Amino acid sequence: MERRVELDLLQQEKKGTKRKRERVELRRIEDRTSRQVRFSKQRNGLFKKAYKLSVLCNAQVALVIFSPAGRLHEFTSADS
């Protein structure tokens, strides 16, 4: 019984110590290099999410992105 009470207390303490994500202010990144790096990372993340959506839901997904430099980046799910 005593062990169970200790476990319950530990779980309650852990719940209270969770860190929340900070909100990031959405605004244009002024530094050109930083903006390009962020674009590349975000683009890759979008492609991964599009792929996961197509696999998990058996959906046909198409994603078209134009970079700030005007380059075309695209993702299309494979036909099964």
What 8-state DSSP symbol labels residue 63?
A: E
Domains of the chain: residue spans and CATH: 30-79 (3.40.1810.10)
On whether the CB atoms of residues 29 and 38 are closer than 8 A, the answer is yes
pLDDT digits (tens, 9 = 90+) for 60-74: 999 999 998 899 999
Q: How confident is the model at residue 25 (pLDDT cuts 50, 70, 90)?
A: confident
Question: From CA 9, how far away is CA 55, in angstroms rounded?
Answer: 41
Percentage of the chain modeled with pLDDT above 90? 62
Six-digit token string for 73: 């980046």
Closest to 78 in 3D by CA, of 51, 57, 56:
51
Q: 76 or 80, which is more confident?
A: 76
Instruction: Tell me: pLDDT of 12 over 80.
Output: no
Provide mean pLDDT across the span 11-28. 76
User: Looking at the whole model, is its pTM more than 0.95?
Assistant: no
